[in-house]
Amino acid sequence: MKADGEYFVTRRILIIDDEDDIRQVAALSLETVAGWDVVLANSGKQGIERASVEQPDAILLDVMMPEMDGPTTFLKLKANQKTSHIPVLLLTAKVQGPDQRRFADLGVAAILFKPFDPLTLAGQISSVLGWKDSA
Protein backbone atom coordinates (compact mmCIF):
# COMPACT_ATOMS: atom_id res chain seq x y z
CA MET A 1 0.00 0.00 0.00
CA LYS A 2 1.22 3.48 -0.77
CA ALA A 3 1.63 6.08 1.92
CA ASP A 4 -1.49 7.95 0.84
CA GLY A 5 -3.73 4.90 1.26
CA GLU A 6 -3.88 3.92 -2.43
CA TYR A 7 -2.88 0.44 -3.47
CA PHE A 8 -0.24 -0.43 -6.03
CA VAL A 9 -1.57 -2.06 -9.15
CA THR A 10 0.59 -4.77 -10.64
CA ARG A 11 0.79 -4.14 -14.34
CA ARG A 12 1.46 -6.80 -16.95
CA ILE A 13 3.66 -5.75 -19.87
CA LEU A 14 4.36 -7.75 -23.01
CA ILE A 15 7.77 -7.09 -24.55
CA ILE A 16 8.06 -8.09 -28.21
CA ASP A 17 11.65 -7.87 -29.43
CA ASP A 18 13.83 -10.22 -31.46
CA GLU A 19 16.98 -9.26 -29.52
CA ASP A 20 17.49 -11.38 -26.39
CA ASP A 21 19.57 -8.71 -24.64
CA ILE A 22 16.97 -5.99 -25.14
CA ARG A 23 14.14 -8.25 -23.91
CA GLN A 24 16.10 -9.27 -20.83
CA VAL A 25 17.25 -5.75 -19.88
CA ALA A 26 13.75 -4.32 -20.36
CA ALA A 27 12.14 -7.18 -18.42
CA LEU A 28 14.59 -6.91 -15.53
CA SER A 29 14.09 -3.15 -15.47
CA LEU A 30 10.28 -3.30 -15.38
CA GLU A 31 10.21 -6.14 -12.85
CA THR A 32 12.80 -4.57 -10.53
CA VAL A 33 11.97 -0.88 -10.76
CA ALA A 34 8.17 -1.09 -11.02
CA GLY A 35 7.34 -4.59 -9.79
CA TRP A 36 5.42 -5.36 -12.97
CA ASP A 37 4.76 -8.79 -14.42
CA VAL A 38 6.54 -9.16 -17.75
CA VAL A 39 5.68 -11.51 -20.60
CA LEU A 40 8.22 -11.99 -23.39
CA ALA A 41 7.94 -12.70 -27.10
CA ASN A 42 10.78 -12.94 -29.61
CA SER A 43 8.79 -12.28 -32.79
CA GLY A 44 5.72 -10.47 -34.05
CA LYS A 45 3.86 -13.74 -34.54
CA GLN A 46 4.66 -14.97 -31.03
CA GLY A 47 3.80 -11.52 -29.65
CA ILE A 48 0.34 -11.55 -31.22
CA GLU A 49 -0.33 -15.00 -29.75
CA ARG A 50 0.91 -13.99 -26.28
CA ALA A 51 -1.06 -10.73 -26.33
CA SER A 52 -4.26 -12.60 -27.14
CA VAL A 53 -3.77 -15.12 -24.31
CA GLU A 54 -2.08 -12.95 -21.64
CA GLN A 55 -4.09 -9.74 -22.14
CA PRO A 56 -1.30 -7.41 -20.96
CA ASP A 57 -1.93 -3.85 -19.82
CA ALA A 58 0.49 -2.60 -22.48
CA ILE A 59 2.86 -3.84 -25.17
CA LEU A 60 6.42 -2.67 -25.74
CA LEU A 61 7.07 -3.47 -29.40
CA ASP A 62 10.35 -3.38 -31.32
CA VAL A 63 10.16 -1.78 -34.77
CA MET A 64 12.92 -3.70 -36.57
CA MET A 65 12.32 -7.47 -36.49
CA PRO A 66 12.74 -10.17 -39.13
CA GLU A 67 9.72 -11.83 -40.75
CA MET A 68 7.10 -9.46 -39.30
CA ASP A 69 8.25 -5.95 -38.33
CA GLY A 70 6.80 -3.84 -35.53
CA PRO A 71 4.41 -1.74 -37.64
CA THR A 72 2.95 -4.87 -39.27
CA THR A 73 2.63 -6.54 -35.87
CA PHE A 74 0.93 -3.41 -34.51
CA LEU A 75 -1.63 -3.39 -37.33
CA LYS A 76 -2.42 -7.07 -36.73
CA LEU A 77 -2.82 -6.42 -32.98
CA LYS A 78 -5.24 -3.57 -33.71
CA ALA A 79 -7.22 -5.68 -36.19
CA ASN A 80 -7.74 -8.45 -33.62
CA GLN A 81 -10.75 -7.96 -31.30
CA LYS A 82 -8.90 -9.67 -28.44
CA THR A 83 -5.94 -7.27 -28.60
CA SER A 84 -7.20 -4.07 -30.23
CA HIS A 85 -7.72 -2.32 -26.86
CA ILE A 86 -4.15 -2.85 -25.61
CA PRO A 87 -1.93 0.26 -25.83
CA VAL A 88 1.26 -0.29 -27.83
CA LEU A 89 4.51 1.60 -27.39
CA LEU A 90 7.05 1.27 -30.17
CA LEU A 91 10.68 0.78 -29.21
CA THR A 92 13.04 1.94 -31.93
CA ALA A 93 16.57 3.01 -32.74
CA LYS A 94 15.22 4.92 -35.76
CA VAL A 95 15.15 8.52 -34.64
CA GLN A 96 14.85 10.29 -37.99
CA GLY A 97 11.91 12.70 -38.35
CA PRO A 98 10.17 10.88 -41.24
CA ASP A 99 10.34 7.56 -39.35
CA GLN A 100 8.94 9.15 -36.19
CA ARG A 101 6.04 10.69 -38.12
CA ARG A 102 5.31 7.40 -39.92
CA PHE A 103 5.23 5.53 -36.60
CA ALA A 104 3.11 8.20 -34.90
CA ASP A 105 0.66 8.11 -37.82
CA LEU A 106 0.04 4.42 -37.09
CA GLY A 107 -1.72 5.40 -33.85
CA VAL A 108 0.72 3.94 -31.33
CA ALA A 109 0.51 5.19 -27.75
CA ALA A 110 4.13 6.38 -27.83
CA ILE A 111 7.52 5.96 -29.41
CA LEU A 112 10.40 5.15 -27.06
CA PHE A 113 13.98 5.21 -28.23
CA LYS A 114 16.84 2.73 -27.99
CA PRO A 115 19.04 2.75 -26.15
CA PHE A 116 16.67 3.31 -23.23
CA ASP A 117 17.57 3.97 -19.61
CA PRO A 118 16.55 0.88 -17.60
CA LEU A 119 16.06 3.02 -14.49
CA THR A 120 13.51 5.32 -16.15
CA LEU A 121 11.76 2.95 -18.59
CA ALA A 122 8.86 2.10 -16.26
CA GLY A 123 8.37 5.79 -15.46
CA GLN A 124 8.29 6.67 -19.17
CA ILE A 125 5.66 3.99 -19.84
CA SER A 126 3.57 5.05 -16.83
CA SER A 127 3.76 8.70 -17.82
CA VAL A 128 2.74 8.10 -21.43
CA LEU A 129 -0.17 5.86 -20.44
CA GLY A 130 -1.33 8.03 -17.54
CA TRP A 131 -0.73 5.34 -14.94
CA LYS A 132 -0.64 7.20 -11.65
CA ASP A 133 -0.70 4.02 -9.56
CA SER A 134 2.72 2.65 -10.46
CA ALA A 135 6.36 3.51 -11.12
* Rounded distance between C-alpha atoms, residue 50 and residue 17, angstroms: 13
Where in the sequence is the domain holding 91, given as residue range(s)?
A: 12-128
pLDDT, tens digit (0-9, with 9 covering 90-100), for 65-88: 999 999 999 999 999 999 999 999
DSSP labels for 110-131?
Answer: EEEESSP-TTTHHHHHHHHHT-
Tell me how many domains the chain contains.
1
Task: List the beta strands (DSSP E) in the chain.
Answer: 12-16, 37-41, 58-62, 88-92, 110-113
94 domain-assigned: yes
- Identify the three-state secondary structure at position 61: strand
pLDDT band at residue 129, thresholds of 50, 70 and 90?
very high
Report, in angstroms and rounded to the nearest whole number, the Rg of the chain calculated over CA atoms.
14
Q: Is 101 exposed, middle or buried (0-12, 13-18, 19+ CB in 10 A)?
A: exposed
**Domain of residue 105, CATH code:** 3.40.50.2300
**pLDDT score of 56 more than 70:** yes
Name beta bridge partners: 13: 38, 58
* Rounded distance between C-alpha atoms, residue 96 and residue 99, angstroms: 5
2 domain-assigned: no
29 domain-assigned: yes
Question: Would you state the pLDDT for residue 106?
Answer: 83
pLDDT band at residue 4, thresholds of 50, 70 and 90?
very low
Q: Helix %, strand %, coil % for the chain, to 5?
A: 40, 20, 40
16 domain-assigned: yes
